[in-house]
Structure 1
Amino acid sequence: MSQEVDTVFTTQTQHSEDMSQFESQPMEALIWGRLYAKNMTITTLGTKRALPLIDTISRIYDLRKETYSAGRKETNDLCINTEHVPLKIIRGISSLHFTIRKNLADKEAPAYIKDHSRNGTFINGTLIGQGKEFILKDDDVISLSHQSFKAIVYKDQRVSKHLTELPEEIRQTYYVGHELGSGACGTVYLIHNAITCEAFAMKLVKKNLLNECSKPTILNEPQRIMNEVKIMKSLKHPCVIKMHDIVNTPESVYMVLEYMKGGDLLSRIIRNKRLQEKTAKIFFLQMCHAVKYLHEKGITHRDLKPDNILLEKEDEITLLKVSDFGLSKFVEQDSVMRTICGTILFVAPEVLATGGIGSYTKKVDIWSLGVVLFTMLSGKMPFSDSYGTPAVEQIKRARFNFSDESWKPISSAAKNLIYKILTVDPKNRPTLDEILGSAWLRDRDAVAQVERLIKKKLTGTKKPGKCTSDIENNNDHVFIEPPKKRPRNN
């Protein structure tokens, strides 16, 4: 094992048995980060002589294990003393000055640096604060005792093409981790704010790919992307995904969104084969309120499907958010939309019947909600080419049934609601208010559970003196049941 790899500021805890485990493995596969000494000197292992950093190849300290400590105390992984920094600086170095940790089980996990010092550890001139953590990013400069004493440079050893292509605005603010998912027009990554350590989902859309994944009738690339941005930045509802940041470059758009740990509804349905009726009801209630909010804002989603419904947690009952407004469009009241969009199995019959030439309204979202409800309760699609006739023809005639075994335990109230929603003529299709007032959704327990989920979300995000959601400004509380007749007094 070459000596330069084992170089430390002064390493007292490196034992020969620790090194033996690396002999049979490529070193590069084990190193997740590197520290480069900057305005200080280092000591080569096995000598007592301090060498100037600029004159020796032994300037790098490789990070392999899960945690590292640094400070004046000799038992630290990195022992910093007067051989390494000027006397005026060493007085400000604490026995334990900072620690660095990383979850080795996830190679894309961020590395955290924690400040334990009295006089401060700084990242790029910003004080971390005693007992607090920052996330280390590639090329971050670590200053000790004073922000002007730039002691160490951190280098991230991950090799990923998407990291090198990130715009400066993203690289300065966020640590970009592993891929959460991808589609024809975009990829989603888990990212963290480097200072707050808060997790987000970043949707990356490459503009040159939109021609490949869009039909000719859909909005052109820049218009379509910025349309999604415009819509999402205007929305504020507990059951609608929130956009936190946006970076637009000539090649790509980067949207920083809420991170939903529970994944998407489609994955939940597939994993469980189908949802319990009680769970489906609570999810459907939230979807209806989200879509009602969008419609009141003059927005039609036009691509409602389980893939675009995100769950906050892995819990069976959790907050739900409608996402992905790439196919949405602002429309004036009473206006119509003339663009064929959406996923075919969730698209309303009037869209298919007109081929995009005719007109259709927000009732297309109502139809899609009905298809999603059918899928949640049965784990199957109401329309499919595998049912004997083309799915398009089934949709145009609303040809579906409840003959599958999965429908036996489902209540007649749920089936009746699906029948009403999946009505070919949009004029006869129920409104969202009518759906919310249906027998199936007039369930006190379900309404109360949804209210608790919403209240918990609002309480957790509300700022003093400001409303967290437009719900709070709405005189008609959207989660209250329709009024019932009062019992006559005797």
Structure 2
Amino acid sequence: MSWISAMITSLTDPINSIFLSKVVYVARHMFQTNPDSRYTIDDIEKGERVEKEKNQKELWAQILDMKNNVRVITSSPTETSILKNLPEYQHVRKIGSGYFGNVHLMKSIEHPEKMVALKIISLEKSVTIIENEYCINRKLMSNEFIIKVFGMSNHSGNCYLTLEYADGGDLFDMTCGQKPMPSELGHHFFKQLLAGVKYMHSQGVVHRDLKPENLLVFKESATLKIADFGYAKYFLHEGNEVWFDEKQYGTKKYMAPEAYTELRYRGPPTDVFACGLVLVAILTSNLLWESAEKLDADYHSWLSGNSPDIEHWSSLDPGVVYLIRQMLQDNPDFRYKIDDIEKSDWMHMKRDQKKLWSQILDMKNKVTFTSSPTEVSIQKAKRKKMVNNSCVF
């Protein structure tokens, strides 16, 4: 589709037409010839352009649709020929795509039972990010809750990262549009996430992009592992803590509020804030807001102490609601630290082990990306139907 036809399509879409008309309204006021009538910065910020234009269901349906569409991007001829001629591995299929490149499932020729994920990143994207991801991942991968990276090489304008393969997909696939994760299983995975983050911080590293899409699940061992260290940074230098000043990092919906309001901010509390939002996604299959800014109506309501208007929130245990509140404190000085979370009542609640193992077995029986290409296509079709019918974001 040409850019002209794409533009026409977007303009004829009813939702986009309404949205664009509001943008045009604001733009007209920005370009007034009389400076006295021209919009000021405050007028623009208060305008309808920054208000929520779509409800949570529509927003997340679009995100899911985008994720599915991204995954079907075809590999370049050069990439395909390289995959066919790797000396140690046989190409099985493509399992994912993203802004930085494609991910392929590879099988060892010498040991066919051994599967790895090969991440192919164009060196045109960002050499610094690639090197940073590899070096930090290598440093941390001895921990059982951090994904392992086996090697990195450059060839034909691409960088190749060989990674541990997660047969259960990512946490996003297990939560969005599904019923909330059972409390025992959710508690089980959250403890593992917390252990992985605690280890990272002990090594002087902040992840800065913790979200369900970057948390991979290994079904056989019922283990969750942290992946994708492209935005990770060291926050300790020669024993001294380094503060950050970037106003944009990782994924906006999981960014901490201090990144918007402070000139400089500490790293570890931003990871804790993201973990709080991941816990909400695990237990409710929802997100609380689009961004942790006071201009966001949902976030402003949260700061006022109101309960979020999302499905399944009212059925949460009061102990976990209190914990989430402390992890999502607006002021990072008052926000729970990892040690505080570990000591919380909800983390120490006794769990029904029989229920947990029943839930783990149920998870193992679900179709994932280890299936055949035909089954994967069926799964994607079901997922699109799920978005249209029952996604409650």
Q: TM-score scaled to structure 2, two decimals?
A: 0.64
Cα distance in 2, alignment partners of residues 160 and 273 from structure 1: 40
Cα distance in 2, alignment partners of residues 435 and 447 from structure 1: 22
CA distance change for structure 1 residues 175 and 420 in 2, over 3 Å: closer, same or farther?
Answer: same
Residue 249 (structure 2) aligns with: 341
SS in structure 1 of the partner of residue 87 of structure 2: helix
Paired residues of 1:347 and 1:364 also in contact (CA < 8 A)? yes
Pick the structure with greater CA Rg: 1
CA distance change for structure 1 residues 408 and 188 in 2, over 3 Å: closer, same or farther?
Answer: same
Letter aligned with residue 326 of structure 1: G
- Report how far residue 163 of structure 1 moved: 2.1
- Report how far residue 392 of structure 1 moved: 9.3
Q: Which residues of 2 match residues 147-186 of structure 1 at below 5 A?
A: 162-166=79-83, 171-186=86-101
Structure 1 residues without counterparts, runs of 5 or longer: 1-157, 211-220, 454-490
Paired residues of 2:288 and 2:310 also in contact (CA < 8 A)? no
Structure 2 residues without counterparts, runs of 5 or longer: 1-74, 361-393
Pick the aligned partner of 2:130 from 193, 212, 225: 225
CA distance change for structure 1 residues 247 and 400 in 2, over 3 Å: closer, same or farther?
Answer: farther
Cα distance in 1, alignment partners of residues 194 and 119 from structure 2: 25
Cα distance in 1, alignment partners of residues 224 and 258 from structure 2: 28
SS in structure 2 of the partner of residue 408 of structure 1: helix
RMSD (Å) for aligned C-alpha atoms: 3.1
User: How big is each residue's C-alpha offset from its partner over 1:81-104, in whole Å with a ceiling of 9 and x where there is no partner?
Assistant: xxxxxxxxxxxxxxxxxxxxxxxx
Cα distance in 2, alignment partners of residues 240 and 173 from structure 1: 24
Q: Which residues of 2 match residues 119-268 of structure 1 at below 5 A?
A: 162-166=79-83, 171-197=86-112, 198-208=114-124, 210=125, 221-235=126-140, 236-249=142-155, 251-268=157-174
Pick the aligned partner of 1:284 from 190, 202, 210: 190
Q: Which residues of 2 match residues 92-107 of structure 1 at below 5 A?
A: none
Paired residues of 2:298 and 2:308 also in contact (CA < 8 A)? no
User: How big is each residue's C-alpha offset from its partner over 1:169-221, in whole Å with a ceiling of 9 and x where there is no partner?
Assistant: xx11111221111111121110112111210111111122x2xxxxxxxxxx2
Cα distance in 1, alignment partners of residues 297 and 151 from structure 2: 39
Pick the aligned partner of 2:316 from 410, 418, 427: 410
CA distance change for structure 1 residues 390 and 202 in 2, over 3 Å: closer, same or farther?
Answer: same
Say yes or no: does 1:320 pair with 2:227.
no
Paired residues of 2:83 and 2:91 also in contact (CA < 8 A)? no
CA distance change for structure 1 residues 405 and 330 in 2, over 3 Å: closer, same or farther?
Answer: closer
Greater relative contact order, per chain length (Cα 8 Å cut-off, separation 6+) = 2
- Report how far residue 403 of structure 1 moved: 4.1
SS in structure 1 of the partner of residue 92 of structure 2: strand
More helix by share: 2
Residue 111 (structure 1) aligns with: none
CA distance change for structure 1 residues 247 and 293 in 2, over 3 Å: closer, same or farther?
Answer: same
Pick the aligned partner of 1:362 from 258, 268, 282: 268
More strand by share: 1
- Report how far residue 331 of structure 1 moved: 2.6
Say yes or no: does 1:378 pair with 2:294.
no
User: How big is each residue's C-alpha offset from its partner over 1:319-349, in whole Å with a ceiling of 9 and x where there is no partner?
Assistant: 1001000000123142212333110010000
Aligned sequence identity (%) = 26
Instruction: Name which of structure 1's ranges 287-296 and 405-414 shifts more when overlaid on structure 2.
Output: 405-414
Paired residues of 1:345 and 1:391 also in contact (CA < 8 A)? no
Cα distance in 2, alignment partners of residues 167 and 175 from structure 1: 7
User: How big is each residue's C-alpha offset from its partner over 1:278-307, in whole Å with a ceiling of 9 and x where there is no partner?
Assistant: 221111111000000000011100000000
Cα distance in 2, alignment partners of residues 164 and 335 from structure 1: 44
CA distance change for structure 1 residues 167 and 338 in 2, over 3 Å: closer, same or farther?
Answer: farther
Pick the aligned partner of 2:337 from 428, 431, 438: 431
- Report how far residue 273 of structure 1 moved: 3.1
